[in-house]
Amino acid sequence: MSIARSVADVLRNHVVMELEAIDRMYLNVYVPQLQTVGAVVGYLRVHRGQRFASTAAVTPMTEAFVRSIEQFVSTEGVDLVTFEKGQRKDDITQKYLRSFRKSEGVLYVGKAQEKARVFRTERRRSRSTGATYPWIVQSTAMVNQYYFYCVDEDFGPFFFKACSYFPYNAKLCINGHEYLKRQLAKRGVRFEPLDNGIKSCADPKLMQRLCDELSAGKIDRLLRKWAVAASISGPRPGCRLSLSALDLAGRVPAHPSP
């Protein structure tokens, strides 16, 4: 008669190394004061000086943002890849990584149309006067998203995704295993890498300590290094993509109480 064994029982005698670490982490990057209709109205009236709030005022910011991306791609000589429906972004990135020889830099910039939460302006009519007026509502739309695939000397491969439409929310994606590989390599510690992990390491205790030391502060410094002062900064002076739209949004005053 056989006794049923759990998966944990089966694995217990086959584990040769155990590691507690962050895998992939997807982080939101946004201006808190620009996430509600009331806050956007306050921004447009107080910061942009509109008598009647309308998202038409942010169109020049959006156009400048997209132009700065196109100028960055042209100046730095990186590829602008338009993702096709169903295309795996990881496959494209791996192709660029195989030919990348620098310690850090921008691999390429990707572009895709995706659904995003946006603010738009409707025309409404006054019941008392019959006159029309702008009214801001929250909605969704298919807009261009720009992916900046990069390599950092401390974190390894990561990407920064920026929405091209107001309020220009973004996302940062890192991989804790890639961070760990970089840290072990910098210290000269022998290890056997996997595609998304580590199979063996000459100093397991140091490896675990490095994982434990991956803090919110280090992730914040990574973001500020590559997007400091609302710019995506490259690894050398002059390699910078100015996100002036985000810069203006980042300095929006708190929405005044009614």
pTM for the whole structure: 0.81
| Domain regions of the chain by residue span | 18-250
Give the C-alpha separation, 180 to 199, whole Å: 12
Sign for the CA dihedral angle at 32, 34, 36, 40 comes to positive
Output the pLDDT for position 1.
Answer: 54
Give the C-alpha separation, 159 to 162, whole Å: 10
pLDDT tens digits along 31-81: 888 999 999 999 999 888 888 888 888 899 899 889 988 988 998 899 999
Quick one: pLDDT band at residue 249, thresholds 50, 70, 90? very low
Give the C-alpha separation, 161 to 116, whole Å: 12
Sign for the CA dihedral angle at 98, 174, 201, 235 comes to positive
pLDDT tens digits along 78-134: 999 999 988 899 999 999 999 999 999 999 999 999 999 999 998 888 888 888 888
Is the N-terminal amide bond of 167 cis, ω within 30° of 0? Answer: yes
Give the C-alpha separation, 165 to 140, whole Å: 11
* Burial classification of residue 204, based on how many CB atoms lie within 10 Å of its CB (0-12 exposed, 13-18 middle, 19 or more buried): middle
